[in-house]
């Protein structure tokens, strides 16, 4: 909650971590693109962030919550890159312990705890099963000692923060959690705890927090085309293209948080490609839950290359991933390929008593990890997930590497670099350090009482209320109010998926949705859970949101054509058959 004192030049923000006091921030902004473009053209800023993924929006929130005049531009949509295509896990990473990177695990688990507290509606504790396989049916002593040590180390580096420690469990308990595992090869297992999050929803919530609570100017579909420099060679402006015209944005400091595109922005500054990023592709596949029947997540081994894959339940579905391979193709919209699909199918079927095939796959996604290039390792799977902040001679701050879980710390480090090395600490005292460690994300307020408030909405089933709460937090009340006003909005957006029509209208009104793909791929996750059914529903969805977005009949046709072509290319690239949720889930 913002409280403004009328007679002193101070602003106050009450958070669970205490009172933050600084200089007056820009007044809270509407999260509306047209308003943002007008502000970008008419105002100047202390910090301009380039990139609307999780690290970029995190940097915008960090800077704005310090009281700095902040803006962010994103070439495509918020979370349109890696930040909507991750494994959707908020975790320390057991395998990083195996690599000896205890510091990274400790850091990640500390950030996991902060996310659980700051965004309880979006980040949930998730139990994980590690099944142990052995031809003798017993865990070898050496393996048992190694696994036990790793589990205790995980508890000590942060697992205890959520008051849940690991357990060693027998075959019966293992099969109770995932009955499709092969009993004849099981030798017990381990149970431990991490967390999960809808990555795209988290990114959007952080972006809206920066604007609606702290006055950051946020604009998607706004591409950087050039940088401007003062007579001393320091960056003092960025030129962008938006809606067919160019805008020169004045900013004292520029943060490059574009992930795998970081070198593209750096080349505008340095005049050459620094080749600092080594993209690694990771893919996931979605299958109907009944094909796996896991009530918790599982980590299963891949014998062919000494890796592991995640098997994660997601409502009526389970997703499986990920691969970790070098990638040298186009950075925009990477695709799953037949070899990627076969890798995951072979890995899963090697530990399943029933198995899955290409015909069971109802959704896929591929993302690129922006790994910092290293001369010391060949496999991308072995490369560090630590982040790096670099400041160029002209003052461009670039933050690269890292992962979803540690985005807040990455963002804080990037803004620290901007304040210390570019702005030379010429800022109010309250802006010298980050205030985001205990800063609630949009939707956290009112989430805990949502269940009690459900009695006020007798016409809305509890499952729908729970679903809306997990996506909007306290703002679910707004969506439920829309349903009360028009009961037709409780109908499914895509048949067979949990999303309701009211969610689409909320996104069109409040979440800077620009395209049909924005809605079906990121505002909802319909494309990930039901690629082909979402394409078949595209015309009806376009009709639903057209009036809100001012689309005429020609624009609707273009949006539907574009979305359908994206889904067809996705299916074609992976050589998958067309799927039908009614058949798949009803099997």
Q: What are 486's two structure tokens?
A: 């028009």
| 322 upstream amide cis, omega within 30 of 0 | yes
| Mean pLDDT in residue range 150-165 | 83
Q: How confident is the model at residue 111 (pLDDT cuts 50, 70, 90)?
A: very high
Q: How confident is the model at residue 136 (pLDDT cuts 50, 70, 90)?
A: low
434 in Cβ contact with 62 (< 8 Å): yes
Q: Is the pLDDT of residue 143 over 60?
A: yes
| Mean pLDDT in residue range 561-578 | 98
Q: How confident is the model at residue 156 (pLDDT cuts 50, 70, 90)?
A: confident
Q: Is the pLDDT of residue 521 over 90?
A: yes
- Provide the CA 294 distance to its chain's centre, in angstroms: 23
505 in Cβ contact with 489 (< 8 Å): yes
DSSP string, 214-282: H--EEESS-EEEEEEE-TTS-EEEEEEEETTEEEEEEEEEEEE--GGGHHHHHHHHHSS----EEEEEE
166 in Cβ contact with 147 (< 8 Å): no
Torsion of CA 247, 248, 252, 253, to 10 degrees: 60
Helix (H, G, I), strand (E, B) or coil at 45: strand
Every domain of the chain with CATH number 3.50.50.60 lies at 26-82+201-274+384-431
C-alpha torsion sign, points 395, 75, 366, 86: positive
Q: For residue 302, what are the β-bridge partners?
A: 307
73 in Cβ contact with 245 (< 8 Å): no
150 in Cβ contact with 94 (< 8 Å): yes
Residues whose CB falls within 8 Å of the CB of residue 246, separated by 6 or more in sequence, listed in order: 225, 239, 240
Residues whose CB falls within 8 Å of the CB of residue 421, separated by 6 or more in sequence, listed in order: 391, 395, 397
Q: How does DSSP classify residue 514?
A: -
23 in Cβ contact with 35 (< 8 Å): no
Confidence (pLDDT) at 374: 66
| Mean pLDDT in residue range 147-172 | 86
- Provide the CA 443 distance to its chain's centre, in angstroms: 16
Q: How confident is the model at residue 454 (pLDDT cuts 50, 70, 90)?
A: confident
Confidence (pLDDT) at 120: 97
Q: What are 44's two structure tokens?
A: 């100047």
| Mean pLDDT in residue range 492-516 | 99
Helix (H, G, I), strand (E, B) or coil at 494: coil
Architecture of domain 26-82+201-274+384-431: 3-Layer(bba) Sandwich (3.50)
The Cα–Cα gap between 276 and 266 comes to 10
359 vs 94: which has the higher pLDDT:
359
Confidence (pLDDT) at 157: 80
Confidence (pLDDT) at 27: 81
Confidence (pLDDT) at 248: 99
The Cα–Cα gap between 483 and 493 comes to 13
pTM for the structure as a whole: 0.93
- Provide the CA 130 distance to its chain's centre, in angstroms: 24
Angle (CA) 202 203 209, round 5°: 90
- Provide the CA 118 distance to its chain's centre, in angstroms: 15
**Summary mean pLDDT of the chain:** 91
pLDDT in tens, 101-110: 788 888 999 9
Every domain of the chain with CATH number 1.10.8.870 lies at 450-585
Q: Is the pLDDT of residue 10 over 70?
A: no
The Cα–Cα gap between 466 and 469 comes to 5
Q: How confident is the model at residue 96 (pLDDT cuts 50, 70, 90)?
A: confident
The Cα–Cα gap between 520 and 504 comes to 9
Length of the chain: 587
The Cα–Cα gap between 26 and 263 comes to 31
Q: Choose among 369, 394, 391: nearest CA to 380.
A: 369
Topology at the third CATH level for domain 450-585: Helicase, Ruva Protein; domain 3 (1.10.8)
Q: How many CA atoms lie within 13 A of 79 on its CB side?
A: 31
Q: What are 409's two structure tokens?
A: 């710390």
Q: Is the pLDDT of residue 380 over 50?
A: no
C-alpha torsion sign, points 518, 519, 522, 528: negative
Helix (H, G, I), strand (E, B) or coil at 138: coil
Q: What is the CATH number of domain 115-195+278-372?
A: 3.30.9.10
Confidence (pLDDT) at 26: 52
Torsion of CA 331, 333, 337, 341, to 10 degrees: 110
Every domain of the chain with CATH number 3.30.9.10 lies at 115-195+278-372
pLDDT in tens, 245-297: 999 999 999 999 999 999 999 999 999 999 999 999 999 999 999 999 999 99
The Cα–Cα gap between 83 and 204 comes to 10
The Cα–Cα gap between 47 and 64 comes to 9
The Cα–Cα gap between 62 and 432 comes to 11
């Amino acid at each position: 909650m913002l409280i403004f004192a009328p007679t002193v030049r101070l602003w106050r923000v009450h958070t669970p971590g205490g009172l933050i006091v600084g200089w007056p921030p820009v007044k809270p902004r509407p999260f509306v693109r047209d308003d943002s473009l007008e502000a970008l053209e008419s105002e100047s800023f202390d910090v301009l962030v380039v990139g609307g993924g999780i690290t970029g929006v995190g940097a915008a929130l960090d800077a704005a919550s310090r009281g700095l005049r902040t803006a962010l531009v994103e070439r495509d949509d918020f979370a349109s890159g890696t930040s909507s295509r991750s494994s959707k896990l908020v975790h320390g990473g057991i395998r990083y312990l195996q690599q000896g990177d205890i510091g990274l695990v400790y850091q990640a688990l500390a950030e996991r705890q902060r996310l659980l507290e700051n965004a309880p509606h979006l980040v949930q504790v998730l139990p994980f099963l590690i099944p142990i396989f052995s031809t003798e049916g017993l865990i070898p002593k050496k393996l048992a000692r190694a696994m036990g040590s790793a589990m205790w180390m995980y508890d000590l580096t942060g697992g205890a923060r959520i008051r849940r420690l690991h357990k060693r469990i027998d075959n019966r308990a293992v099969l109770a959690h995932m009955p499709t595992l092969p009993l004849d090869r099981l030798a017990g297992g381990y149970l431990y705890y991490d967390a999960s999050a809808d990555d795209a929803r988290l990114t959007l919530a952080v972006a809206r927090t920066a604007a609606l609570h702290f006055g950051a100017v946020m604009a998607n579909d706004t591409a950087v085309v050039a940088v401007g420099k003062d007579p001393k060679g320091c960056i003092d402006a960025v030129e962008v293209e938006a809606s067919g015209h160019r805008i020169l944005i004045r900013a004292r400091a520029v943060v490059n948080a574009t992930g795998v595109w970081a070198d593209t922005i750096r080349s505008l500054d340095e005049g050459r490609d620094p080749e600092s990023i080594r993209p690694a592709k990771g893919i996931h596949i979605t299958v109907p839950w009944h094909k796996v029947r896991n009530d918790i997540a599982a980590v299963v081994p891949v014998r062919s290359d000494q890796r592991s894959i995640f098997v994660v339940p997601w409502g009526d579905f389970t997703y499986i991933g990920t691969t970790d391979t070098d990638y040298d193709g186009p950075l925009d919209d990477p695709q799953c390929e037949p070899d990627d699909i076969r890798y995951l199918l072979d890995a899963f079927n090697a530990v399943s008593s029933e198995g899955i095939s290409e015909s069971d796959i109802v959704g896929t996604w591929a993302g690129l990890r922006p790994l910092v290039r290293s001369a010391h390792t060949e496999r991308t799977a072995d490369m560090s997930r630590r982040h790096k902040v670099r400041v160029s001679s002209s003052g461009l701050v670039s933050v690269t590497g890292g992962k979803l879980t540690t985005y807040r710390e990455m963002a804080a480090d990037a803004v620290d670099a901007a304040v210390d090395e570019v702005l030379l600490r010429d800022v109010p005292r309250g802006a010298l350090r980050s205030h985001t460690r205990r800063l609630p994300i949009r939707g956290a307020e009112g989430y805990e009482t949502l269940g009690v408030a459900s009695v006020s909405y007798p016409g809305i089933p509890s499952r729908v209320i729970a679903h809306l709460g997990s996506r909007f937090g306290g703002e679910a009340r707004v969506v439920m109010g829309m349903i009360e006003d028009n009961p037709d909005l409780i109908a499914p957006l895509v048949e067979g998926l949990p999303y309701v029509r009211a969610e689409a209208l909320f996104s069109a009104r409040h979440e800077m949705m620009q395209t049909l793909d924005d809605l079906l791929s990121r505002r909802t996750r319909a494309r990930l859970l039901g690629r082909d059914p979402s394409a078949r529903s595209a015309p009806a969805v376009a009709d639903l949101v057209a009036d809100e977005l001012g689309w005429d009949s020609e624009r609707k046709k273009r949006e539907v054509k574009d979305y359908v072509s994206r889904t067809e290319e996705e299916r074609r690239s992976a050589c998958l058959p067309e799927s039908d949720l009614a058949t798949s889930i009803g099997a």
